[in-house]
């Protein structure tokens, strides 16, 4: 979702994979494999985030890796995983920080950390630099450190055109080669810092970041990179901890006259998203970009599901005669993901939606 291409050095001995996805939620432990010794160090940025915490948990469950997690609050990450000897925690103030020490001895980087447009930022320039600059900053430092396996988590939104008229067309199938178009002359300093403008800028930054990372991948024949969006929920500390689970929570929070202002029509459970990242570590090759999606959903269907399965909060839902905003309907081709990662089954949207709602309800009970 960025703007101007940066000049890249050429690294002839690197190869990339890229994974993309949409939205997420909970965590199943992978079976522990005692035949492998803990050797490889995997760096996970954004360890306290929804996806980051689930990914760390699944990586730890394999007993194959030492995990090096970064976060703006080292204590928060330690609180999520107390007394875990295979987790090394580093506090990183922001995207522009020097990662030299963090990258020492690392065999693979899984870069998830990025500000979201709905988090408070000073202005559009700060948001853009965090989303785009943060992604390329880590990738370039990892390459300079000689790391050959890089996973960059992009966003489902980068598959779409920025113009609204092109986002809701069923005749525009999407696959791993799809990218939205962004004007190269975009002046981020002129972007008004209201939520809608920042959302568009966030998507623009992700599109450009995905494209530029993909270009780096082509320049590095033996480095693997993966691109996808952010999502999971481990501890419920504040409402911001819900991440995209908050979308479902808004169904009972925003009153009877509205639906969540979210036009995304595809969903992936965070457990599946984390699983895709774990699998990406095991796949050799280069220039791989994966889309991870559990399928379509509709806000009215989720509302009906909640009425059936959580009747105690049915009175807080949007009225049945209220019309949700239009959602994306473009078909998504997952053939490449199925072939390379072997992912053919996902948690259903019903299970994911109820898990997201339950996270919000848990938050209510604890506050």
* Domains in the chain with CATH codes: 17-366 (3.40.50.720)
Ramachandran region, residue 302 (left: φ > 0; alpha: ψ -120 to 50; beta: rest): alpha
What distance in Å separates the CA atoms of residue 62 and residue 277, rounded to the nearest whole number? Answer: 13
What distance in Å separates the CA atoms of residue 338 and residue 208, rounded to the nearest whole number? Answer: 26
Predicted confidence (pLDDT) at residue 230 exceeds the cutoff of 50: no
pLDDT at 105: 95
253-282 pLDDT, tens digit each: 989 999 998 888 888 888 898 999 999 888
Predicted confidence (pLDDT) at residue 96 exceeds the cutoff of 70: yes
pTM of the model: 0.83
CB atoms inside a 10 Å sphere around CB 239? 14
Q: Which has the minimum average pLDDT: 22-26, 60-64, 296-300, 307-311?
A: 22-26
pLDDT mean over 21-27: 35
Residues of the chain with pLDDT > 90: what percent? 31
- Closest CA relative to residue 126, chosen from 213, 201, 45, 71: 201
Spatial neighbors of 265 by CB under 8 A, at least 6 apart, are 296, 297, 298, 327, 328, 329
Residue written as token pair 């890249």: 8
137-158 pLDDT, tens digit each: 888 899 889 998 888 887 777 7
* Residue 70 token pair: 């970064």
Where residue 233 falls among pLDDT bands split at 50, 70, 90? very low
Residues of the chain with pLDDT > 70: what percent? 75
Query: What single string gives the DSSP state of each residue in 202-223?
Result: HHHHHHHHHHHHHHHHHH-TT-
- Work out whether the CA dihedral 308, 364, 61, 22 comes out positive or negative: positive
């Amino acid at each position: 979702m960025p703007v101007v291409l940066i000049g890249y050095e050429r690294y002839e001995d690197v190869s990339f994979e890229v994974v993309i996805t949409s939205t997420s939620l909970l965590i199943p432990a992978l079976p522990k494999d005692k035949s492998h010794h803990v050797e490889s160090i995997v760096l996970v940025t954004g360890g306290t985030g929804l996806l980051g915490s689930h990914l760390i948990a699944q990586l730890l469950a394999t007993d194959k890796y030492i995990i090096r997690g970064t976060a703006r609050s080292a204590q928060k990450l330690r609180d999520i995983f107390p007394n875990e000897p295979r987790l090394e925690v580093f506090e990183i103030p922001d995207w522009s920080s020097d990662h030299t020490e963090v990258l020492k001895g690392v065999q693979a980087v899984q870069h998830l950390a990025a500000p979201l447009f709905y988090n408070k930022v000073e202005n559009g320039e700060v948001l853009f630099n965090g989303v785009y600059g943060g992604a390329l900053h880590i990738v370039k430092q990892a390459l300079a450190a000689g790391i050959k396996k890089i996973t960059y988590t992009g966003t489902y939104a980068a598959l779409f055109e920025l113009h609204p008229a092109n986002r809701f067309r069923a005749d525009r199938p999407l696959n791993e080669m799809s990218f939205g178009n962004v004007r190269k002359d975009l002046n981020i300093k002129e972007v008004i810092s209201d939520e809608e403008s920042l959302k568009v800028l966030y998507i623009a930054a992700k599109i450009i970041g995905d494209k530029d990372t993909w270009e780096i991948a082509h320049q590095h024949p033996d480095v693997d990179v993966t691109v996808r969006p952010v999502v999971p929920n481990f501890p419920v500390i504040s409402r911001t901890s819900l991440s995209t689970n908050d979308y479902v929570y808004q169904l009972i929070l925003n009153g009877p006259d509205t639906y969540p202002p979210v036009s995304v029509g595809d969903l992936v459970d965070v457990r599946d998203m984390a699983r895709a990242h774990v699998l990406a570590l095991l796949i050799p090759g280069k220039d791989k970009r994966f889309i991870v999606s559990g399928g379509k959903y509709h806000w009215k269907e989720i509302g009906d599901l909640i009425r059936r399965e959580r009747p105690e909060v049915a009175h807080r839902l949007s009225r049945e005669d209220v019309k949700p905003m239009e959602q994306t309907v473009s078909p998504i081709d997952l053939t490449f993901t199925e072939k390379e990662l072997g992912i053919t089954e996902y948690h259903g949207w019903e299970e994911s939606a109820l898990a997201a709602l339950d996270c919000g309800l848990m938050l209510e009970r604890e506050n």
